């Protein structure tokens, strides 16, 4: 159960914090990918200590799952997700939530997943946004995402 601290007067989100945490957990996995360093690796995975699994080969199941999770959100949830990322990026404070959300609503389109995946620190920004709104996750809970 994700706990909300009471000392921060935060707005009510349209998106469940658990959904945000799932998306940020997937974003962390996606951000861990690196450039292909050995495109013609003939070795088997056990010989190279599974290093190739971190290479971004284009057909990335983590990316597909992340894009699918974002696209499956309704419009209000997508708007909140973008506003949370902006909040975590430092584009405003909790007191500016209504303005951040209004701007995210104005900018909303069918490319929300692409936009968010283009943010280099998406996972950290979403986590910081949730933290600013007073949500916290225990280490045990984080392992389930």
C-alpha–C-alpha distance, residues 53 and 70, integer Å: 23
pLDDT value of residue 145: 47
Digit-coded pLDDT (tens) for 47-85? 555 555 555 555 788 899 999 999 999 999 999 999 999
CA-CA distances (angstroms) from residue 61 to 25, 57, 65?
14, 10, 6
Can you read off the two tokens belonging to residue 128?
A: 């910081």
Per-residue model confidence as pLDDT tens digits over 91-122: 999 999 999 999 999 999 999 999 999 999 99
Per-residue model confidence as pLDDT tens digits over 10-54: 789 999 999 999 999 999 998 876 555 555 555 565 555 555 555
């Amino acid at each position: 159960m994700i706990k909300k601290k009471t000392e921060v007067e935060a707005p009510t989100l349209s998106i469940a914090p658990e959904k945000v945490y799932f998306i940020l957990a997937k974003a962390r996995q996606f951000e861990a990918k690196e450039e292909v360093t050995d495109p013609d690796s003939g070795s088997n995975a056990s010989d190279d200590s599974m290093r190739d699994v971190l290479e971004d080969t284009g057909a990335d199941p983590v990316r597909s799952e992340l894009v699918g999770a974002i696209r499956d959100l309704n419009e209000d949830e997508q708007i909140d997700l973008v506003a949370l990322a902006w909040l975590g990026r430092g584009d405003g404070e909790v007191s500016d939530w209504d303005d951040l959300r209004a701007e995210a609503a104005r900018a909303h389109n069918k490319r929300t997943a692409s936009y968010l995946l283009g943010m280099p620190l998406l996972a950290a920004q979403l986590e910081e946004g949730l933290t600013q709104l007073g949500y916290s996750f225990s280490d045990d809970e984080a392992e389930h995402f």
